Amino acid sequence: MDLTPAELTLLGLLVEKPRHGYELEEVITARGMREWTEIGFSSIYYLLTKLRDRGLIAEAGEQAHGKARKVFGPTPDGVRACAEAAAAAIATLRPTTPPVLIGLASQPAIPPALLHAALARRAEALAEKIADVRAAARTAAPPFVKAIFDYSLTQLEAERKWLAAYRGELDAL
């Protein structure tokens, strides 16, 4: 059963613990998941309906916090589909198209001063993002959440290292 990345993300959160839609939003925000998922607040209930209609989740009761909220949990088929899709997501390399590569491919069109300014802005943005992820990682409790932050930090640090070397090469020209 194919799951979109957004469906897999929500299903994984529900396998972890039955939740209502607003609680899913809180977890997505707290864990910085918006950085790597395409789940908007307005799409959570749409995705929950799709997962329910496919038999992957079911209502697991209601939780009262001022008003009744439907709590959803995975069905046995949902747990199985989540495990299979998550394992495939971990095992499979998929090409990505970061905009920086598109910009670098068009670099001959960029005047040197504009290129240096763009690279400096990217270095500043990387430093800020690294600081933000490190701060968020301090609040991550379960080991699998820590692994997500560690992976992100490793990628960001690798890009910062590459960027410093590339800027050095350009300065040497």
Q: How is the chain split into domains, by residue range?
A: 5-91, 99-172
pLDDT, averaged in runs of 10, over the chain (173 residues) = 92 95 92 85 93 94 67 96 96 89 94 96 96 85 87 95 95 86
CA 122 vs. chain centroid, Å, equals 20
Give pLDDT, residue 20: 92
- Entry pTM: 0.81
Q: Which CATH class is domain 5-91?
A: mainly alpha
Separation CA 14–CA 106 (nearest Å): 43
Long-range pairs of 118-121 with CB within 8 A, sequence gap ≥ 24: 119/163, 119/166, 119/167, 119/170
